[in-house]
Structures are given as structure tokens and as C-alpha cells.
A and B are shown apart, each in its own frame.
Chain A
Amino acid sequence: MSKPANARAAAARALFQVLEQGRSLSQAIPETTQGLTAADAALTQATCYQALRFLPSYEWFIRALVEKPLKNKVRIVHYLLLVGIVQLRDMRTPAHAAIAETVNAAQLVKQPSLKGMVNAVLRSFQRQHAELEQQLAAEQLKSPGLRTDHPGWLQRRLESAYPDQWSHICSANNQAPPLWLRVNAAKQTRDNYLSALAEQGIEAFADPTATDAIRLQHAIDVTQLPGFAEGQVSVQDRSAQFAAHLLDAQPGERILDACAAPGGKTAHILERTPNAIVHALDFDEGRLQRVHENMQRLQLSATVIYGDAAEPREWWDGQLYDRILLDAPCSATGVIRRHPDIKWLRRASDIDALVALQQRILQAQWQLLKVGGRLVYATCSVLPDENTLQIENFLATVKNARVVPVAHAQARDWQLLPETDSGDGFYYCTLEKTAI
């Protein structure tokens, strides 16, 4: 029997799709790893993450080793070289396996004539590794993009918004995030769940601020967690868990989760306030299916609505909401460590379009809120244009809004930055609708 030596070919194909065709990694991975064993699929995924986290550095190695750039029909081989170098330099794959399997993969991507070339490049990488690292280190001193492995436009925006913290943000963006859980408060206390984890020898820590959040010391297959299938616990980043806390839904209230899919925050709202009447809205039918699945596993019930948050006429039943969570579409620059492809998929020009979209949605949602009701505006962005400046702009245009300060932050609004052992980058601001 021969094995489709596919982890390398699959990784090269996935990276090609992301970097040449603009697809997201979360779309590319399931497709390219179809038919692989679980271990090979995991290797493919790990290789792609690593490649996208440090792409400029790996590209620099390829430029140093390959005289003539691989273009057009043989472009895929460029990504095979990337995969080979990632594995040789930064993964635990033994060198001879990394080389042999990557050379084989040339056959699978239908470029058998370049097998020799792939072999030669990877072997010279191996031979010259020490010198190449020294040269890269020297280049990094000259080029900030190589130092942080971020695109220039994003790095400049981070630098100007966070003069003291930008390099920490960049380095947190390039680290794998810890695994955070959310304990289902409707089923048990966090302390009880921590004991259940301890009984199974799973090392875990309670977050001091996010009261339902637990961080696992080591990532594990979540379906193996005690009570996972029964909905006792879900996977959700610590920073995202503040949405339900700030929304603070009360029993019997009408709540709208305006960009709900895949439903993590909708579920959190219901776990904390089972008697709230929750509407979960989203404009992506495929992802709405995930809301249904999440509700089912957690045995919660929400009214799931398909519709555009910016166009309430098309779906709204005409009754005002007590509270609205608006987790707005955004640049996702706060969750780069989970989605390293974002660095290369987003363009500077996307930001203005997103800011305009957020503004439209915010204006539309504001009309659906009762007087005295609250709207929590949230994004997983770290760019002020989408966050603080968006809110300032909103407050300048409407008269019946006031900011409810965020107690956790002791400030008007709350910009969380990604931190290596903590949460994602996130933004929150709570607005109350006043009588004019």
C-alpha cells in the first residue's frame, strides 16, 4: 500500500488557497485534509498555523535559497518549499522524514519534475541553516516587518495606537492561544467543574475576572472533557466571555444577539439567565446551523433568525428589545493568534469598509432598543477606528445615548489586548438609551 503522503501536499494546497486565492484557513483546512488520518490532518493544520504566523521569515529563507521565483503553474511548489522549511526549522518532524515526504508531495501536487529541485532546496536549507539564521537575524534588525512577522500596514496602525504595547501585541499574535472554557452556570458552579477536572488530572485555572472562565494548562481534545457532550462546558475565549456579563440580561427580558453565529455568546447569555427571551440573528445561513447545534448540545432555547442586522425591516417583529448585544463584524485583528491567516487576508482598505458597515449596523440596532435599554457594542478588533472612535462618532450623531462605564476597566469603554497566557483582543462599550 502507498500512502497519499498528504500532510505536506495538503498543507501546501491550503497555504496556496489562503495566500493566492484569499480563502480563509478555516475553509481551506477541512477541504484539503479530507481523507487524511487524524494525525496527518493535525500535522497539516499545525504546519499551516506555523507558516502563517512567521510567513515573512519563511519567505525570506525561500528567497535566499531559490534563484528564480516559482510562479504560475509551478507556484504550488513554492508552498511545498514553505511547508518543508517550516517542518525542518520549527517542528518536531525528523529532518529525513520532512524532506522525503515533502519531495514525495511534489508528485501529489502534480509536479513530479520538480522533485529534484524540492530535494535540493530543502537539503541546502539544512546544510546552511546556521548561516541563514544569522543572516535573517541581521535582516530583522533592518526590517521591522521581518522582526514582527506582521504586514506593514497593520504594524504601523498598531504602533500608532499603542506606542508602548505594539511589539507585545505582535508577539502575542504569533503565539498559540491557551484553551479557555466557559462553565455552564445553569448546570453547576465553576468550583464544582474545577474539581471534576482535577479528578481527571486535567490541570486548570480559574480566571479572577471572568467568573465562568477556566484556562487549561494544556490543550486537549475537548470532546474528552467531563460533561462536554452534556453541555456542562463550552470552549470560549476569556475575553469573549465578558459580553454576557456586560449585557447583564435579566429574567423575562427580550434580548437580541445581533450577530450571533456560531452562538457562543447567545448560549452564555442563556446559561446565565435561562428565563430571558433571546433572539439570535445572523446573516450567514451556514453559520446559523452552528447556533442550532450549540443550543441543542447545551439544551438551551433561542429564537434563531436569519437576517441582516443593518436591515431590521426585513426580519424584525416590531417589538423593542430590553438589551442588545452587537458583536459587530470586524477586522478580527484581536484574534490573529487563533486565525493567523487574518494578517495576510486583510488589507488596509478593508478597515474603512468595516467601519462603515459597523456604523450602519449600530445605527439600525439603536432603533430596536427600548428607552432605558442597553446595547453592548463589541468587536474582536484592536484598531481604535472600529472601537473607541466608532463609539465617539456614534455619540456625536445621536442624542439619546449615554455610556455606562465598564466596571472591570474602570473606564468608559474597555479595550482588551491579546496576551500570551490570557485572552484575545476584544473591545466593549455599553450604551444606554435615554429619553431625549
Chain B
Amino acid sequence: MAKMTILKYPDDRLRTVAKPVEQVDDALREIIDDMFETMYDSQGVGLAATQVDVHQRFFIADCGEEKNEPLVFINPEIIEQDGLFENEEGCLSFPNVFAKVERAGKVRVRAQDRNGETFEMDAEGLLSICIQHELDHLNGKLFVDYLSPLKRDRIRKKLEKEARLAAKLN
């Protein structure tokens, strides 16, 4: 397994709309395993293929307290949603940025697992937020898009500055 590089905002590649996965094979599973390693290493609870510059429709998640509930969603779609709630979210493409975003409280999602089997599941709480957040990535949408332009701009400037500083240090 190998750790992958996570694209950081405002990288344009984060705006790519991903293409459906046509075949769930070993090559894909290898990417998935690398993504899990990358996600766990960065203390994330979800990671979309888009974020590691793979523009296919799948993402992974593990919202368990003990990090032992890995989930794979290939060609995911939300088929039902219910309620609204607001929670603080962060994103591995936005280091140390957290902001409140309004999401559906409960979602029912249909997707394929790592063996290509179709499944449906109901999610609420953190997992529900995570599914909506990662699905947005596959559509080129980011959680800061829900914020006011002013807030979004402030975050962009902060991250650009950090990137410049990091570049200097290297």
C-alpha cells in the first residue's frame, strides 16, 4: 500500500466532475486500499477519489470511533433524504478549516461495495454528513461552496498563504 497526495483547495482539479466506475476490479481495489491508508493517516473520516486526483465516482468512509468501520461507496446515489441539521465540517483538502454546513439529517444511499455488489443503507449523524460531503466531491462541489462568498474568500486566502509558506520552507 502507498500513501497518496491529497489535492488541496484551491486546486482546480477538485472541480472535476467524476465519471462512473465501469468495472470494479483489482486495480480499483488497490486504489481503494491506498485511499484508506491515506485517510487514516490524515485522521479523516471520508475521502473521495476526486481528492486523490482519480476522477471516478467512488469514495470511502469510516465514521466509527474506533476506526474499524470502513465503508466503500462506488457509483453512489442518494435515493432518499429527510430533515435538516447544521454541523461543523472539515475537509482533508482544507487543512484546519472547519465551518458549519446545513445538510439533510438522514439519507438513504445506494452504491456498490468493493466487490461490485449493489447495496442500500440508511445513514444518520456523522455518516450522513460524510456521505453528502463526499458525494459533493464527485460532482466537483466543495463544502465551502455552501458558505457566504466572504467566508469562502477568507478561507481561500488563508490556505493560499499557508501553501506559500510551506513552499518557502521546502
Residues of B within 8 A of A94 (CB): 65-66
For B, the interface residue count at a CB cutoff of 8 angstroms equals: 28
- Inter-chain contact A3/B126, CB cutoff 8 Å: yes
B157 interface residue per 8 A CB criterion: no
Closest to A34 in B: B88
A176 interface residue per 8 A CB criterion: no
- Inter-chain contact A2/B67, CB cutoff 8 Å: no
B32 interface residue per 8 A CB criterion: no
- Inter-chain contact A2/B92, CB cutoff 8 Å: yes
A274 to B67, CA, bound (A): 55
| Interface residues in A82-126 (C-beta closer than 8 Å to B) | 93-94, 96-97, 100, 104, 107-108
Residues of B within 8 A of A107 (CB): 96
- Inter-chain contact B43/A1, CB cutoff 8 Å: no
- Closest chain A CB from B151 CB (angstroms): 15
- Inter-chain contact A38/B86, CB cutoff 8 Å: no
Closest to A6 in B: B88
Closest to A5 in B: B43
B87 interface residue per 8 A CB criterion: yes
- Inter-chain contact A93/B65, CB cutoff 8 Å: yes
- Inter-chain contact A1/B98, CB cutoff 8 Å: no
A107 to B89, CA, bound (A): 15
A4 interface residue per 8 A CB criterion: yes
Residues of A within 8 A of B43 (CB): 2, 5, 100, 104
- Inter-chain contact A1/B129, CB cutoff 8 Å: yes
Closest to A3 in B: B45
Contacts beyond the supplied A1-B44, A1-B89, A37-B87: 17 A-B pairs with Cβ under 8 Å: A1-B61, A1-B143, A2-B90, A2-B91, A3-B63, A3-B126, A4-B90, A4-B98, A35-B87, A36-B87, A37-B125, A37-B126, A94-B65, A94-B66, A96-B66, A97-B67, A107-B96
Could you list which residues of chain B lie within 8 angstroms of chain A, going by C-beta atoms? 42-47, 61, 63, 65-67, 86-92, 96, 98, 100, 125-126, 129-130, 133-134, 143
- 9 closest Cβ pairs, A-B complex: A35-B88, A2-B90, A1-B46, A1-B133, A4-B98, A4-B88, A3-B45, A2-B44, A1-B130
